[in-house]
Amino acid sequence: MAADDVRELLLSTTADASDPSTPLSAPDLRLLIDRLRLRSDRLHASALSFAASHRGALASSLACAASAADSSASLECSLDSALAPLASSPDLSDLRALADRLLAARRELAERQEHLAAASTIASLAARLREARAAANPLDTAAAAAELKPLLIDAEQSRSVEDGPVVFGLLRSDWEQLVDELQVGLAKNVEECMEFAPEGGKVVVRATPKCCSSRKQGVELPVALQALEIIDALDYGMAKIADSMMKHILVPAISNIHVAVSVEVLQEGGPEHSVSVLRIVPSEELKDNKDGSSLYSRILDVIKFACKFICMENSKWVQSFAKLTWPRISDMVITHFLSKAVPNEASKLIEFQDVVRSTAEFENKLRSMMFLLPDRKDGKLTQFVDDVEVHFAVRKRSEILVKARNILVQYDYDNPLESGDQGDSVVDLLFLPEKCFTSKSVLLLMKLVHGALKDASMSSARVAKEFCFAARDVLLLYKAIVPVQLEKHLDSISQVAAIVHNDFYHLSQEILGLAFQYRADFPIDLQKQVVFVDLAPIFFQMADVVLRRQIQLAIDTISEAIDGADGFQNTHQPQHYESAKFSIEQVVFILEKIRIMWESILPKSTYRKSMCHVLGPVFSRITRDMLLIDDMAAEETLQLQGLIHLALENLSSLFLSLVENDDGSAKFLDRDTWIQLDGAVPSLKKFRKLAELLDMSLKSITAAWESGDLVGCGFTSSEVQNFIKAIFADSPLRKECLGWIVRTPA
């Protein structure tokens, strides 16, 4: 009994028993013993009662325990007998070797079982392959090959076929060879059931091949097709006859409108020997084919013949034949009929609805024959006719671009002013009160652009979009072709380059006006999408590039002529004077040539501005060269002055072309004219003043500097000082004058 239970008994007999240190008296001990005996009797009675009530379960448990004890003893004996041979061995090496041999034996047994199963499978597959080859009926061979396919060809493990047993690879090769021989033979059988006339236009379909191999009897056409279907080679078997049907029957039926389709069915000794004939025969009757109904009727007759006598109205065979022929049939119909039926004018689009209706009926009939799938994905013809507006617009766009290209390529830029319609090429600029000469090609291009945009304003959104793109392409075509075509002209000073500048400039202004002229008439969907204003800066920049190039070429050419004067040194010597004079004459000649080319071509404001850009560097260069002469004899100053006067006199017509009075162009070089010229070309004023300085006294030059006259003409203090030092000998007066010039601010 636990100590806590004893203490509980003590607590129930005496109050002082709660103190562990209190000793028990004799009465307490006797009482405790009585209580313990009573408790023990109760527990014994309870145990007997439990054993009596659970006697069966206790008996069973005791029996199991006894059996387990006997088994344990038996195992102990077996273990002792097994370990007896090792009792005398000092280690366990023999036991380890015995265990290894046991495991190896088990593995070898498992491998042999696997090899036996594999050998059995291989033998079975080989036997089935032999049976398939030996089968007399191609349907049986095809079925056997189809059954063997999943056993020999594992699609998921096809990448690791080389890792499998060699014998399986051999079986696969044997199976593939069997299937290949079978499909080739069946395809040949199908081909021999068809006979096409060498000249075309006729096909004879027989139920059995006309020419059979001597080794093997040919099979009926349906049997061959069914066998091909079983081995998934139907398209392979149909391919050649589909090509032959296209070449000999469908091509002449589609491309020739003066033909008809004739079908004849012959019976020779029963259905297995039936013969069907289809002919494409000439027809003198010319049917109205505006809507394509007669063409579609001929195609339907051919397809019905193929579906009935070749495909035996089997939907799967029909669809295989359709897959091999329909893409080419539809392309030919589009090429030979639909594309030609697209109207040339927007007003005839309504008449095209008859073609749309007959085309839809044609494809619906093909769907009812299962030649086309019902999901309309193969409706290539109806899709084409439904988009006829786009096709019409695309055709017009192509025509417009072809016309534009021909205009640009065929136009003679070498003689633009010799054409009889020169006056027609002078046009008013849209945003400037001026006229300019343009090439006839640009006027014709703008006519195309305006025509396209007028058609766009009267068309639907889809058609209008194509017309607008055509107009943009016409403009961009000029930008792409002309600079390349006239590259040599643009790299030299030429009248053609001036005309090209005008063309670009005129187009840039016309482009700005297109939006204002047509946008309001465009379909609402296009009013914000189609713009032309983005092209205007491009063409304006091209015009500016061409003109700047011409100005630079002119300046460079004149600079080369001035180089021949050798800085106008020593002109008092006859040889040097002649060189300087020739150089001035060359400058005048080049400038006059440029004037003649530009004045009649460029707009007046552009001509004057461009010529001033050329004259400025020319006069500045001549003036600078003369001022750089460090020593001038008296005779030399007269020669230089004469050269300046020579240039000014010979350029009088050019100067007059650069100014304009209220009543038109100036006729005389009067004071007002020179004032305008000096303002337009500041270096000209300095050039003219230099001629005066060459004939002025020292005091007069000093006075002109002090008055600011020379400064107003563009002279600097150093230039005036060097000029005085070059002309006048050293003297007190020269020193005094130079001092005045130095002290006088510019």
In a domain, 304, yes or no: yes
The verdict on residue 120 lying in a domain is no
Residue 8: predicted pLDDT: 64
Q: What is the CATH number of the domain that holds 569?
A: 1.10.357.150
Please give the pLDDT value at position 420: 46
Structure letter (DSSP) for residue 428:
E
DSSP 8-class letter at 562: H
| 432 within domain boundaries | yes
Whether 517 and 561 map to the same domain: the answer is no
* C-beta separation of 493 from 594 below 8 A: yes
Distinct helix (H) and strand (E) counts, the chain: 30, 8
Question: Which of 104-118, 310-324, 643-657 is the least confident region?
Answer: 104-118
Comparing 132 with 315, the larger pLDDT belongs to 315
Q: 651 pLDDT exceeds 80? A: yes
pLDDT: is 529 or 740 the higher one? 740
Section 113-129 average pLDDT:
68
pTM for this entry = 0.57
Phi-psi region of 598 (alpha: psi -120 to 50; beta: other; left: phi over 0): alpha
User: pLDDT class for 211, splitting at 50, 70, 90?
Assistant: low
Q: Tell me: pLDDT of 180 over 90.
A: no
Confidence of residue 158 (pLDDT cuts 50, 70, 90): very low
Confirm whether 499 is domain-assigned.
Answer: yes
Which uninterrupted H or E stretch holds 507? helix 495-518
Percentage above 70 pLDDT, the chain = 83
Mean pLDDT in residue range 542-554:
93
Does the pLDDT at position 555 exceed 90?
A: yes
More confident residue, 414 or 318: 318
| pLDDT value, residue 418 | 57
Q: Give me the residue label for tokens 């009939």.
A: 365
Specify the pLDDT at position 592: 92
Please report whether residue 104 resides in a domain.
no
Give me the torsion for CA of 41, 47, 50, 52, rounded to 10°: -90
On the question of pLDDT at 215 being above 50, the answer is: no
Domain shared by 554 and 666, yes or no = yes
Q: 143: pLDDT confidence band, cut at 50, 70 and 90?
A: confident
pLDDT > 90 in the chain, percent: 17
Q: Per-residue pLDDT tens for 6-63?
A: 666 655 555 455 556 666 677 877 887 888 888 888 887 877 777 777 777 777 777 7
Dihedral angle computed from the Cα positions of residues 530, 534, 539 and 540, in that order, rounded to the nearest 10 degrees: 140
* 427: β partners: 436
Range of lowest pLDDT (286-290, 389-393, 510-514): 286-290
- Which residue, of 546, 564, 593, is where some domain finishes? 546
Shared domain for 523 and 556, answered yes or no, is no
Instruction: Give the pLDDT confidence score for residue 347 in this predicted structure.
Output: 65
Indicate whether 538 and 563 sit together in one domain.
Answer: no
In a domain, 672, yes or no: yes
> 240: exposed, middle or buried (C-beta count within 10 Å: 0-12, 13-18, 19+)?
middle
Same domain, 508 and 588: no
Q: What is the distance between the alpha carbons of residues 62 and 586, in angstroms, rounded to a whole number?
A: 143
* Runs of H (alpha helix) within 54-165: 55-83, 93-134, 138-152
Same domain, 213 and 235: yes
Domain count, the chain: 3
96-105, 132-141, 251-260, 320-329: segment of lowest average pLDDT: 132-141
In this structure, the answer to whether residues 198 and 334 fall within a common structural domain is yes
Segment 714-742 mean pLDDT: 88
**Where does the pLDDT of residue 164 fall: very low under 50, low under 70, confident under 90, or very high at 90 and above?**
low
Residue 47 lies in a domain: no
What does the pLDDT look like over 498-529, one tens digit per residue?
Answer: 999 999 998 888 888 887 787 777 777 677 76
Model pLDDT for residues 401-439, shown as the tens digit of each residue: 999 999 888 887 766 655 544 555 777 776 777 788 888
Q: Which alpha helices (DSSP H) does 524-670 contain, by range?
A: 535-563, 574-599, 604-627, 634-650, 652-657
| pLDDT at 4 > cutoff 70 | no
* Assigned token pair, 672: 């007002």
Specify the residue for token string 């643009």: 490
Which pLDDT belongs to residue 141?
79
Among the three residues 349, 379, 410, which one is the final residue of a domain in this structure?
A: 349
Close Cβ partners of 202 (under 8 Å, ≥ 6 residues apart): 196, 248, 277, 278, 279, 280
Residue, of 66 and 509, whose pLDDT is higher: 509
The CA-atom distances, in angstroms, between 249 and each of 294, 317, 482 are: 16, 19, 50
The pLDDT score that the predictor gives to residue 546 is 93
Q: Report the pLDDT value the prediction gives residue 160, as an integer from 0 to 100.
A: 42
Tell me what the pLDDT averaged over the chain comes to. Answer: 81
Q: What is the DSSP secondary-structure string of 141-188?
A: HHHHHHHHHHHH--STTGGGGGGS-HHHHHHHHHHHHHHHHHHHHHHH
Q: Which domain holds residue 541?
A: 393-546
Could you tell me the two tokens for 169? 């690879």
Is residue 168's pLDDT more than 70? no
pLDDT of residue 213: 41
611 pLDDT higher than 60: yes
Predicted confidence band of residue 746 (pLDDT cuts 50, 70, 90): low
Residue at 69 is within a domain: no
Domain boundary among 511, 529, 546: 546
How many residues are given for the chain? Answer: 746
Neighbours of 544 (CB within 10 A): 14
Q: 725 and 652 share a domain?
A: yes
Question: 599 with 721, same domain?
Answer: yes
Q: Which tokens in the block code for residue 147?
A: 């059954």
Claim to verify: residue 321 and residue 422 sit in the same structural domain? no
Q: Do 333 and 198 share a structural domain? A: yes
Q: Does 97 score more than 90 pLDDT?
A: no
Q: Are residues 716 and 652 in the same domain?
A: yes
